[in-house]
Amino acid sequence: MLLVIRKFSLPIVIFGIISIFQIGFVRAQNSHDFSKWQIVNETFTKAISQQNNFNSAQSSVPKLNPIDELYQSRFVIKDAPIKLQKKDPILLPRLRKKSHEITDDKKQTIVKNISTVKKADNGALKKGIWRLEIGNEDRGIFVDLWEPIFDPIFGGSPTDGGMSWGLHLSYTPHSKNPIWFQKLRAYIPWIDPNAPANVSYSFEQSANMHSHLARKTRNHSEHLWTSDQRPDAGFLAANARVGLKKNYTPRWDRIDTIDFRGGIVGPYSGAQPFHQFVHDLTGGSTDKWHQINSEPFLNLNYEHGHRFFLWKPNGRETIEIHPHTGFALGNAFTHAKVGLNARIGRLLENDMGAPRFSQMLTGTNFPKINDHLFSWNFFTGFEGKAHAHNVTLDENLISGGGQSVNSHMYTYDVHAGFEFGYGNYRLTFMNVYRSREFKGQQYSSEFVRVALAAEF
């Protein structure tokens, strides 16, 4: 037995040593695997904790404006007294928030919004209405154009003198209630402060001239001026005209018009060179001018009226009656007036009454028809004036002296015409008869006025 033990003792010892090493290695391996899983578990736990802490911090920290965000993301300031916001931690994929995808419904909504904005921009391009008016008398600059057409219609009377010609270019924006006029409302308390105000800006030039026929009949030399001839007077002005319409009932409107005008009369108005230039182009002859003195002027014109419809317009044909009163105050014209106008036509409620020919061109009657609808009207009217001063007939107020005549205190105008329009495009024609304005005037004045308005 002892011999057997001695014989196998060495292998047993070796086997035992090997077994002990194997058991230690297995235990060490198991311990190492356990530490690896523990590290993974701790990492996930730490990441989840960081995410929760970050979300709570974001909800309490106010959002920076875009400039601060850009500043903090692109620059690092060393030893800065203000602690900058830390960068977001890099999170595991399963903890990252997914961006919201744009659905088909949202895409359609965006496309509709873009198309709506484009349509609004295209509509905004049309800022207002431009209107060109031309007034002409027998001795005016467009004689060859108008006389063959209108003289047979209105009797072909041999009249000339008075307002020989006039050009008036106006712009009427679609926007209402300009800021500069809102500041003036406190000084006009008799007008409803809630009445919308339309404004029109314009530039005009015209000429009042002597009568060539009267001079020829009386054998006066064109190089001399006599007291029985009206002096020549060029006229140049800029104008801001405000129209206010208050609706009392569907058949009753109140209309107030305020006109601010400033410019110059006499040779500095440039009317004579323009008159000569046009006649040179057309091959016509002109007489020598005897103008009043050059003088700057300021004028205020106001008109108040009520118009009545015989039945509710509602976009249909109706009849309009429009009585009005007013005055002019300034060193160019000072007078009081009263008048009555009548119209028959369609869409009369979309403007501010029939156009009229005052001492000078009056400008737009504020047409505004949103839809492309056809409109028309025929009109006639009467207007009488009581004059205190008329610079085209009386002496200059500022410089004094100059050419003048013995003017009549009372005058009147009778006018008739028609308008055709399509939306905010409108053609107006008017014929005006004016009574004699001064003593010794041989012929009364009669002239035509044509106006074309277009939206841009």
pLDDT of residue 136: 80
Domain boundary residue, one of 39, 65, 98: 98
Count of structural domains, the chain: 2
Asked whether residue 281 is assigned to any structural domain, the reply reads yes
Query: Coil, strand, or helix at residue 247?
Result: strand
- 400 and 366, same domain (yes or no): yes
Asked whether residue 432 is assigned to any structural domain, the reply reads yes
pLDDT of residue 80: 47
* Rounded-to-integer distance, Cα 379 and Cα 161, Å: 25
Asked whether residue 227 is assigned to any structural domain, the reply reads yes
- 124 and 26, same domain (yes or no): no
- 180 and 71, same domain (yes or no): no
- 181 and 291, same domain (yes or no): yes
- 38 and 161, same domain (yes or no): no
pLDDT of residue 117: 46
C-beta atoms surrounding 407 within 10 Å: 18
Collect all residues with Cβ–Cβ distance below 8 Å to 373 and sequence separation of at least 6: 315, 347, 422, 423
Say which amino acid occupies 139: R
pLDDT of residue 334: 96
Smallest CA-to-CA distance from 360 within 328, 324, 395 is with 328
Count how many residues are written for the chain.
456
Asked whether residue 41 is assigned to any structural domain, the reply reads yes
- 80 and 152, same domain (yes or no): no
* Rounded-to-integer distance, Cα 456 and Cα 132, Å: 13
C-beta atoms surrounding 412 within 10 Å: 14
- 272 and 168, same domain (yes or no): yes
pLDDT of residue 76: 47
Asked whether residue 109 is assigned to any structural domain, the reply reads no
Question: CB–CB of 249/274 below 8 Å?
Answer: no
Collect all residues with Cβ–Cβ distance below 8 Å to 305 and sequence separation of at least 6: 254, 255, 256, 322, 323, 324, 325, 326, 353
Smallest CA-to-CA distance from 447 within 133, 139, 131, 132 is with 139
* Rounded-to-integer distance, Cα 241 and Cα 403, Å: 30
pLDDT of residue 77: 47
C-beta atoms surrounding 242 within 10 Å: 21
- 51 and 127, same domain (yes or no): no
Phi/psi at 454 (nearest 5 deg)? -145, 145
Cα torsion through 170, 206, 144, 228, rounded to 10: 150
Spell out the per-residue pLDDT of the chain, length 456, in tens. Answer: 444 445 555 556 565 666 665 555 555 555 555 555 667 667 767 777 766 666 665 555 555 555 455 445 544 444 444 444 455 555 555 555 554 555 555 555 555 555 554 444 444 456 888 999 888 875 555 555 555 555 555 555 555 667 778 899 999 998 899 999 998 998 999 999 889 999 999 999 998 888 776 666 666 666 666 777 888 899 999 999 999 999 999 999 999 999 999 999 999 999 999 988 887 887 777 778 888 999 999 999 999 999 999 999 888 899 999 999 999 999 999 999 999 999 999 999 989 988 887 777 777 788 877 677 899 999 999 999 999 999 999 888 887 767 788 999 999 999 999 999 998 889 998 888 889 999 888 878 888 888 888 887
* Rounded-to-integer distance, Cα 336 and Cα 387, Å: 7
Domain of 387 in residue numbering reads as 120-455
Asked whether residue 411 is assigned to any structural domain, the reply reads yes
C-beta atoms surrounding 312 within 10 Å: 12
C-beta atoms surrounding 374 within 10 Å: 11
Domain boundary residue, one of 66, 98, 130: 98
The CATH number assigned to the domain holding 352 equals: 2.40.128.140
Structure tokens that stand for 169 in this block:
């270019």
Asked whether residue 108 is assigned to any structural domain, the reply reads no
How would you label 106-138 residue by residue, b for 16+ Cβ within 10 Å and e otherwise? eeeeeeeeeeeeeeeeeeeeeebbbbebbbbbb
Question: CB–CB of 225/403 below 8 Å?
Answer: yes
Q: What is the DSSP string of 313-353?
A: -TTSEEEEEEEEEEEEEESSEEEEEEEEEEEEEESGGGSSS
pLDDT of residue 82: 47
Query: Coil, strand, or helix at residue 146?
Result: helix
CA angle 396, 397, 398 (to 5 degrees): 95
**Cα distances (Å, whole numbers) of residue 275 to 40, 139, 243, 286, 448:** 100, 11, 32, 8, 17
pLDDT of residue 110: 53
- 41 and 164, same domain (yes or no): no
- 60 and 131, same domain (yes or no): no
Structure tokens that stand for 271 in this block:
């009317």
- 296 and 420, same domain (yes or no): yes
N-term to C-term CA, the chain: 129
Asked whether residue 15 is assigned to any structural domain, the reply reads yes
Collect all residues with Cβ–Cβ distance below 8 Å to 29 and sequence separation of at least 6: none
- 223 and 353, same domain (yes or no): yes
* Torsion region of 223: left, alpha or beta (phi above 0 gives left; psi -120 to 50 gives alpha): alpha
Question: CB–CB of 200/170 below 8 Å?
Answer: yes
